């Protein structure tokens, strides 16, 4: 057994110490170095392929997304109910609407297939500035060319239309507006004040009792595309009145009436006269002849004696008792015209008030119904009473004949 004497350079006997040659060490070092080099090379190659892989992956994901969204859109479109052709629909075209807005309304209602087709036809017909606002009735799936033609021609629907007959009073117009358009009659009457509109319509400065009676021109009005309220309708009627009288020569008529009858008339008094004529005349030459009767009576200081003026007060049939009741509208007890118009007269009555026939009539008897018609004008009271007596006898005979015919029909049964 060897002893360790502290010399570390001497190997300990019995223990084998591993050794490696210089060549082997160099080879090993080169191998390790090559391993690192190959690893770094593979890493660089992997990095070089990363953009390509990322692009391919993103493209794939994008394709999946587009396919998914497209499928959802197709499903949504397929789920939209198709508009059944031939269904009648009513639309309103607002005032000032252009082709784009109109096309949206038509497409939304199923009248035309798409905006492009409609706008192309509008261009073909050069109709962009000619299409009119208002209410229209079309069939779904309509011929686009005919739709454009109708829009140029004008409204064809009665949905938002109101017709005001000649001779309606403001109260009757209010009731009609409520019934036909759903406009509150109360609101209409509250709005129908001359003071509300006098700034826009100067002719209302003559109105008495703040009344619009006589100025709401009777006609057919279409509120399609407009606000459906009392103010809109009243303004339309006042505008129409202004348009109607614009061509009338009130000044010339005033001179003519003064020279012929010695009567001074204001524009407002012409409208009052026209309103009374409107309620008394029925057909033919009634208007100008009734006008002449009233002017002759005023000229001769005779009361007009028109039942219609008291009818404005009682709002119905006039009785003998009504004709004895004191009222500024009782033209049996008072001389001259009533304080205000008693209705809203039409163009024919206004023309008659401005230009009466030249006659010496002071009386008229007018009755017109399915069984009997009589339109007689007289120059004196006796002739007038004879006409009335004959008319009563004629009507009695007609009634008797009708009763006999009815009895004969009953007996045959």
- Residue 388: closest CA among 361, 365, 362: 365
CATH of domain 88-153: 3.30.1490.480
From first to last of the 413 residues of the chain, give the pLDDT tens digit. 444 444 444 433 333 334 444 444 444 444 444 545 444 445 555 555 555 555 545 655 655 454 554 444 444 444 444 678 899 999 989 988 999 999 999 999 999 999 999 999 999 999 999 999 989 999 999 999 999 999 999 988 888 999 999 999 999 999 999 999 999 999 999 999 999 999 999 999 999 999 999 999 999 999 988 999 999 999 999 999 999 999 999 999 999 999 999 999 999 999 999 999 999 999 989 999 999 999 999 999 999 999 999 999 999 999 999 999 999 999 999 999 999 999 999 999 999 999 999 999 999 999 988 888 999 999 999 999 999 999 999 999 988 887 665 554 433 33
Judge if pTM exceeds 0.85: no
Ramachandran assignment for 284, one of left (phi > 0), alpha (psi -120 to 50 degrees), beta (any other): left
- Domain limits, the chain: 88-153, 161-246, 250-361
Residue 122 burial (CB < 10 Å; 0-12/13-18/19+)? buried
Note the Cα 399 to chain centre separation in Å: 48
What's the length of the chain?
Answer: 413
DSSP for 27-92 reads: HHHHHHHHHHHHHHHHHHHHHHHHHHHHHHHHHHHHHHHHHHHHHHHHHHHHHSPPPPTT-EEEEE
CA angle 335, 338, 343 (to 5 degrees): 145
Bridging pattern class, strands 220-222 and 161-163: antiparallel
């Amino acid at each position: 057994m060897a002893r360790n004497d502290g010399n570390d350079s001497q190997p300990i006997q019995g223990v084998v110490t591993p050794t490696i040659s210089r060549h082997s060490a160099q080879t090993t070092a080169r191998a390790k170095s090559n391993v690192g080099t190959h690893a770094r090379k593979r890493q660089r190659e992997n990095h070089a392929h990363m953009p390509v892989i990322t692009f391919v992956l993103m493209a794939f994901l994008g394709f999946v997304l587009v396919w998914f969204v497209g499928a959802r859109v197709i499903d949504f479109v397929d789920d939209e109910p198709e508009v059944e052709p031939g269904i009648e629909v009513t639309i309103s075209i607002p005032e000032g609407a252009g082709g784009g807005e109109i096309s949206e309304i038509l497409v939304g209602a199923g009248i035309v297939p798409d905006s492009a087709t409609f706008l192309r036809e509008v261009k073909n017909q050069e109709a962009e500035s000619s299409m009119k606002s208002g209410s229209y009735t079309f069939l779904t799936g309509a011929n686009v060319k005919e739709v454009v033609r109708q829009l140029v021609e004008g409204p064809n629907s009665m949905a938002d239309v109101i017709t005001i007959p000649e001779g309606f009073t403001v109260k009757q117009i209010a009731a009609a507006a409520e019934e036909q358009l759903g406009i509150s009659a109360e609101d209409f009457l509250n709005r129908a004040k001359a003071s509300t509109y006098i700034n826009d319509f100067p002719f209302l400065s003559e109105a008495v009792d703040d009344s619009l009676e006589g100025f709401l021109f009777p006609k057919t009005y279409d509120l399609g595309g407009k606000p459906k309220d009392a103010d809109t309708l009243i303004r339309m009627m006042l505008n129409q009145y202004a348009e109607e009288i614009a061509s009338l020569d009130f000044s010339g008529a005033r001179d003519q009436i003064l020279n012929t009858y010695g009567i001074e008339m204001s524009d407002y008094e012409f409208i009052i006269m026209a309103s009374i004529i409107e309620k008394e005349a029925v057909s033919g030459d009634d208007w100008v002849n009734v006008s002449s009767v009233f002017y002759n009576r005023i000229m001769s200081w005779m009361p007009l004696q028109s039942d219609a003026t008291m009818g404005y007060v009682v709002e119905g049939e006039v009785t003998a008792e009504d004709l004895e009741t004191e009222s500024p509208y009782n033209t049996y007890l008072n001389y001259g015209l009533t304080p205000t118009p008693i209705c809203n007269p039409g163009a024919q009555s206004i023309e008659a008030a401005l230009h009466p026939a030249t006659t010496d009539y002071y009386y008229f008897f007018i009755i017109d119904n399915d069984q009997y018609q009589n339109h007689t004008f007289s120059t004196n009271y006796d002739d007038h009473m004879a006409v009335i007596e004959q008319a009563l006898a004629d009507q009695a005979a007609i009634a008797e004949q009708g009763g006999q015919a009815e009895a004969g029909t009953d007996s045959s049964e």
